Chains A and B, each alone.
Chain A
Amino acid sequence: MPAKLIEREMRTENLPHIWCPGCSHGSTMRALCQAIENAGLERKNTIIVSGIGCSSRAVGYLNFDTIHTTHGRALAFATGIKLAKPQLNVIVLTGDGDISAIGGNHLIHACRRNIGITCIVLNNNIYGMTGGQYSPTTPSGDYATTAPYGNIDRDFDIPLLAKSAGATFTARVTAYGINEAIKVMERAIRHKGFSVVDVASICPSYYGRKNKKGDVVKMLQWQRDNSVPVKAAEKMSKEELQGKIITGIFNDEQYPEYTDEYEKIIERAGGR
């Protein structure tokens, strides 16, 4: 019952949203609402934090305590929230530019601390809000308004980056595979520790247009035809995986969570 879901979880008075027709941010936001319900989070204890970008505007539509912060800094704000009040569930919504360019430092350190925050990255391989400049996830060779002759930067694989930095749950889903996205996001929310879900997203207005990816349907079909589940990918060569989107859960580990560890410090110092 999608309409009911929207009524329950969204600030319907703020709709319609600001996104372009066909932008996948709306359906990802809806999927997140479903995942929050499925995970059984109590609204009163759930805080949603975002940075700056088209993706980060989602918080204005979500009926929770929400905070739209500064560009790249959502995880640092969220760290303050979670550490100050560990009983709160803290979810960060961010974009590829927000989290891996200006916010890259905060990302690796949140991973390293393994603080109990769920980080959902709406990764459309472009800076949507500012009109189509290349981001750290724009594939090499692709075009952007600031890469008019093709992008010579190498692109980040966000879950791989997060995993290497110590995130204890990392995954990738696609805007096309929305049911899978709901399931994986639910697991990320339930995970104890820092979790990252990279949502392969589509920006038809800029990334799509600049790179002649066709209309929205074509872009989603491309995702469907080029997604490779992580298990299958393990058996494929580097060449075969070129240009594919590897989906699924990359790691799901148990490691002491940061705010739990700080509680022990308080005990050691005699504060409890």
Chain B
Amino acid sequence: MSKRILMQGNEACVRGALKAGMRFFAGYPITPSTEIAEGCAVELPKVGGKFVQMEDEIASMAAVIGASVTGVKAMTATSGPGFSLKQENIGYASMAEIPCVIVDVQRSGPSTGLPTSSSQGDVMQSRWGTHGDHPIIVLSPSSVSETYYLAIRAFNLAEKYMTPVIFLMDEMIGHLRETVEIDDNVEIICRKQPDAPEGKFEAYKGEENLVPVLPVFGSGHYYNITGLTHNTWGFPTNNRAVANELNSRLLNKIENNRRDIEAWDEYLTDDAEILIIAYGGSARVGEDAVDMLRRKGIKAGMYRPITIWPMAEDRLRELSQRIKKILVIEHNNGQYLHEVERVAADDAEIEFIGRINGAFILPEEVTEKAEAM
């Protein structure tokens, strides 16, 4: 069964999360993400879920982790300044392997910046915002419909890999209204639980795919969760070998499973001679530019990362070996550009269009630059 509904990007995020089984939301109001909190306040109690407006973003992130350790799927949503405040506890969730979804509807920074203007300035922060070498998954939707389905996937990945997932939206998509065809028949993943009866459990051992099985609190397994370096039972240790094992497992948990995690989209790349690379809201500009270039007889195509991290880099490498001109467009000063250069600089000429004043890049600017390449 499916139905078509007109909705805003932020609303699609709420609906997708609810579909995925979100039953807890903690947040603090901030433009342009506030509609997500408001939507959760309305919808969660209708399904027996919980909404709480905490005293700040630090507390919101903490409460989300708290809810998740009891087995309840939990989310928070914020924008720039609030995303900065959440970072310490995002690192905690990464280290302690607590599934949760953090939505950042990006606005123009730095600092309080341009609160109502779109941006993609938090891309590197979404990867490296919290301290230490840590794993993370970051997803970025480029339409309202994709926001709905990708929000579901964000929860699925969080639960499957026992990790925080950053849902990196931007104001352009968050406040866009589009029709979503809602298909009720979607896969929903819930975290694994021990087969063992109650009693002590080696929660942080990691299964074959390196993902641990963490019993939900209240299920009688009496283990410890900590952000300190810990052994496989969850207890703090300074042992270097154990530290190495834990930190390696954490990173390899994502790295070894990247084939399953990675997602990207391509538009007219088969015969393309120039490749536009864009994600999130920028991809809407990129897609228009490709169409305009095609009408002029220029064979343009687009590669759109959906998992910003881990990046589907093998595919990008293949494309860059064939398509020798790459044009990266981002609403920032060139953040993902560095990632593209890391992968493709040896094979292709790379140009960039960025924007840091809160305005949108126009498709015409893209076509002009592409034509000059």
Chain A interface (Cβ within 8 Å of chain B)? 14, 43-45, 47, 49, 57, 59-60, 63-70, 73, 76-85, 87-88, 105-106, 109, 262, 265-266, 268-272
A236 to B239: give the CA distance in the assembly, Å: 54
> Given A79-B54, A84-B67, do A69 and B59 touch, yes or no (CB 8 Å)?
no
B267 within 8 A of A: no
Instruction: Contact check, A70 vs B88: say whether CB atoms are below 8 A apart.
Output: yes
Given contacts A67-B226, A68-B227, A266-B45, contact A81 B217 (CB under 8 A): yes
Q: Determine if B218 and A79 form an interchain contact, defined as CB atoms under 8 angstroms apart.
A: no
Contacting B66 at CB < 8 Å: which of A45, A60, A84, A268?
A84
B→A interface (CB under 8 Å): 23-24, 26, 42, 44-50, 52, 54-56, 58-60, 62-70, 72, 74, 88-89, 92, 198, 217-228, 235-236
Tell me the complex Cα distance, A87–B89, Å.
25
- With contacts A44-B218, A70-B88, A109-B54 taken as known, whether A85 is within 8 angstroms of B70 at the C-beta atoms is yes
In the assembled complex, the CB of A49 is this many whole angstroms from the nearest CB of chain B, namely: 8
- Binding site of A, secondary structure by majority: helix, strand, loop or mixed? helix
A80 engages B62 (CB within 8 Å): yes
**In the complex where A79-B54, A79-B66 touch, is A270 in contact with B46 (Cβ < 8 A)?**
yes
Task: For residue B31, give the distance in angstroms from its CB to the closest CB of chain A.
Answer: 22
What's the minimum C-beta distance from A272 to chain B, rounded to whole angstroms?
A: 6
The 5 closest A-B pairs by CB, nearest first: A80-B66, A80-B63, A76-B62, A269-B45, A84-B67
Q: How far is the CA of A269 from the CA of B41 in the complex (A)?
A: 10
* A259 nearest CB across to chain B (Å): 9
A73 touches B62 (CB 8 A): yes
Whether the Cβ atoms of B52 and A83 lie closer than 8 Å is yes
Whether A60 contacts B63 by the Cβ 8 Å rule is no
* Contact yes or no, B45 A68, CB < 8 A: no
The one of B66, B218, B219 in contact with A77, judged by C-beta atoms closer than 8 angstroms, is B66
Q: Main SS of the interface on chain B?
A: mixed
Q: How far is the CA of A83 from the CA of B45 in the complex (A)?
A: 12
Q: A63-B222, A84-B74, A269-B46 are in contact. List 13 more A-B contacts (CB 8 A).
A: A67-B217, A67-B224, A76-B62, A77-B66, A79-B54, A83-B24, A83-B50, A83-B67, A84-B66, A85-B70, A105-B59, A109-B54, A109-B55
Are B226 and A68 neighbours in the complex by a CB distance under 8 Å? yes
When distances are taken between beta carbons in the complex, the residues of chain B under 8 Å from A78 are 66
Bound-state Cα–Cα, A57 to B68, Å = 22
Contact A43–B222 (Cβ < 8 Å): yes
The answer to whether B217 and A47 touch across the interface, beta carbons within 8 angstroms, is yes
Complex Cα gap A64–B69 (Å): 14
Min Cβ gap A185→B in Å is: 21
A172 to B153, CA, bound (A): 49
Q: Which residues of B contact A265 (CB under 8 A)?
A: 45
| Alpha-carbon distance between A86 and B221 when the two chains are bound, in angstroms | 19
Kindly list chain B residues whose C-beta atoms are within 8 Å of the C-beta of A45: 218
Point out which of A67, A73, A106 has the most chain B C-beta atoms below 10 A from its C-beta.
Answer: A67
- Chain A residues lying within 8 Å of B26, measured Cβ to Cβ, are 80
Minimum C-beta distance from A229 to chain B (A): 34
Q: With the chains together, A39 CA to B65 CA distance in Å?
A: 28
Min CB distance B208 to A, Å, is: 26
A46's closest neighbor in chain B, by CB? B218
Question: How distant is B224 from chain A, measured CB to nearest CB, in Å?
Answer: 5
Shortest CB distance A239–B (Å):
37
Pairwise interchain contact A88-B48, C-beta atoms closer than 8 A: no
Q: Would B65 and A80 count as touching, CB distance under 8 A?
A: yes
Is there an interface contact between B224 and A66, defined as CB atoms closer than 8 Å? Answer: yes
